[in-house]
Structure 1
């Protein structure tokens, strides 16, 4: 039986706990970096937009998306 099948047979709460333990162990890896390098570039640009006052509220973004279709 595969690990995936073994986990699927477990109760939901136990699977969630296993997932949390696995994630915690991954985060302790010295070379672990969950974000790709381009994320930092996007965040830097978003911060600059905020400083320039060019950001939009979530309501504005949702309205714009709804109007596109």
Structure 2
């Protein structure tokens, strides 16, 4: 089946939202590196579809993790 561009965009956004939720869960569990990896994957998905709103949410979560733990990310 061929997906429309709108359909592809919808599923990319949903996948990125799931990455954000996983990052939040992993952050609460103290799995900071895993949380940051989820953020990176989510950001990659969002950049493909230029979803600025979700990019902002992911970057805010990334900042929260880094501020609270002083973890640096290698991308």
Assess same fold via TM > 0.5.
no
| Superposition TM-score, scaled by structure 2 size | 0.32
| Superposition TM-score, scaled by structure 1 size | 0.34
Higher percent of residues as helix: 2
